[in-house]
Amino acid sequence: MTNSHRNTPATATTATPAAAGAELATQATDLDGRHFNGRHFNGQDFDGRTVLVTGGTSGMGLATARMLLERGANVVITGRDEARLARAEARLTEARLTEARPAGAGPAARERVFAVRADSARPADLARLAERVGERYGHLHGVFANAGIGVFETPAEVTEESFDRTVDVNFKGVFFTVQHTLPLLEQAPGGGGAIVLNASWTLHRGLPNAPVYAATKAAVHNLARTLGSEFAGRGIRINSVSPGYIVTEMFHEVITEPAQQEAVRARVPLGRLGEAADVAETVVFLLSPRAAYITGQDIVVDGGVVAVANPW
């Protein structure tokens, strides 16, 4: 009887003990953890790699872009507003990166930032973005689909306009970002492209006054798993991150009073609000070769809000 499963080879061979031992030997890890399956990791995991960060003008996007620069990447950032985009580009190119690059290690930060105006809610903008990235670099190694908005309304307050805008940016924009950048990821030298989608802790626990926002983030989470399955055979990994209470511009816009902010902090088992860098570290890990065996997963970066009882 023929096995019709597409991932099952028609024939199989049994490895000898010697062959198995040799295979395990090639997978050995040094005590310092820098070698695994023939890969060598150091502080510059992204040297020569190109990564796109949508919504890279502030908050988690900007923090991720900076961290990628520190690790040697070429970084493409996007934003809807020309002035904010220019300020973000200036902050990145003028920043004194915390991890000094050795002489001759590659271009300076100002030569590795490419800012492109694009509205993630408009697929035509995303198509032009992919075209410009292709013209400049020819490929991508990673994408952080971060662009999103937070509209917090009760069900009675939601209008068709706010509903459509939230879905357009938070879900449709993420989907078409992946669609238009996929060919560039498939062109990456050596393969192994990676995508990280920005979801939210609200997909794991109910949150009042966020019915549409939370629904779009749940859709993004499911998209990571579905597309992770779709593209695994092409060597492209897709994961999501679910940030908790992270201090960004959006956080201050939504939670304006110090007393409210303190009440929110008190809900976090680790005893502090998150920083954009907390999320950036996770995103950079998932985009890096260090996460080469991880796909279709969601990592919650929330100080324990979802999964841990508050000890305070």
Cα(121)–Cα(308) distance, rounded to whole angstroms? 35
Amino acid identity for residue 245 in this structure:
Y
> Tokens 């028609």 correspond to what residue?
10
What is the pLDDT at residue 24? Answer: 42
Residue 19 has pLDDT above 60, yes or no: no
Cα(252)–Cα(122) distance, rounded to whole angstroms? 27
Residue range 84-110: mean pLDDT, rounded: 71
What is the pLDDT at residue 5? Answer: 42
What is the pLDDT at residue 111? Answer: 83
Confidence of residue 104 (pLDDT cuts 50, 70, 90): very low
Residue 204 has pLDDT above 90, yes or no: no
> Tokens 């993420």 correspond to what residue?
174
Can you give 251-300 as a three-state secondary structure string?
A: HHHHCCCHHHHHHHHHCCCCCCCEEHHHHHHHHHHHHCHHHCCCCCCEEE
What is the pLDDT at residue 11? Answer: 42
Q: pLDDT by residue (tens digit) across 222-270?
A: 999 999 999 999 999 999 999 998 988 878 777 778 888 888 889 899 9
CB 85 within 8 A of CB 77: yes
Where b means 16+ CB within 10 Å and e means fewer, 158-188 reads eeeeebeebbbbbbbbbbbbbebbbebbeeb
Cα(284)–Cα(133) distance, rounded to whole angstroms? 20
Of 137, 213, 245, 293, the active-site residue reads 213
Say whether 137 is catalytic.
no
Cα(277)–Cα(60) distance, rounded to whole angstroms? 7
